[in-house]
Homo-oligomer: A and B are copies of this chain.
Amino acid sequence: MNNVIKIAVDAMGGDGSPKKVIDGIIHHYQNNKNSFYKIFGNREEIEILIPKNINKNAFEIIHTTEIVEGTDTPLGAAKRGKNTSMWLAIDSVKNKETDVVISAGNTGALLVIAKLNLKMIDNIDKPALSALWPNKKGMSVVLDLGANIECSEKNLFDFGCMGSSLFKSLFDKDKPRVALLNIGLEENKGNEILKKTFSLFKESNLESFDFKGFIEGNHIMDGNIDVIVTDGFTGNVALKTAEGTANFITGELKKTMTGNLLGKLSTILNFYNLKKFKKRLDPRLYNGAIFIGLDSPVIKSHGGTDYIGFSNSLSVCNKIIKGNLIEKIRNNIN
Contact = CB atoms under 8 A, between A and B. Distances in A.
Specify which of A191, A241, A252, A263 lies most central, judged by the most chain B CB atoms within 10 Å of its CB. A241
30 contacts: A135-B248, A181-B237, A183-B233, A183-B236, A190-B233, A216-B240, A217-B241, A217-B244, A218-B241, A218-B244, A221-B244, A221-B245, A221-B247, A222-B244, A233-B234, A234-B237, A237-B238, A241-B241, A245-B245, A245-B246, A249-B249, A253-B277, A255-B277, A256-B273, A256-B274, A260-B273, A262-B270, A263-B270, A266-B267, A266-B269
B256 A240 contact: no
B270 A266 contact: yes
Interface string A250-261: 111101110110
A58 interface: no
A222 B222 CA distance: 26
A181 to B, nearest CB: 6
A275 to B, nearest CB: 9
A113 interface: no
B240 A242 contact: no
A131 to B, nearest CB: 14
A292 to B, nearest CB: 19
Nearest to A219: B244
A238 B241 contact: yes
Interface residues of A, number: 58
A272 B265 CA distance: 13
A273 B248 contact: no
Specify which of A135, A190, A218 lies most central, judged by the most chain B CB atoms within 10 Å of its CB. A218
A112 interface: no
Given A217-B240, A219-B244, A257-B270, 4 more contacts: A191-B233, A216-B237, A217-B238, A242-B242
A56 interface: no
Contact of A241 (B220, B247, B252): B220
A139 to B, nearest CB: 12
Contacts of A253: 253, 277
A150 interface: yes
A39 B221 CA distance: 39
A238 B216 CA distance: 10
A63 B251 CA distance: 49
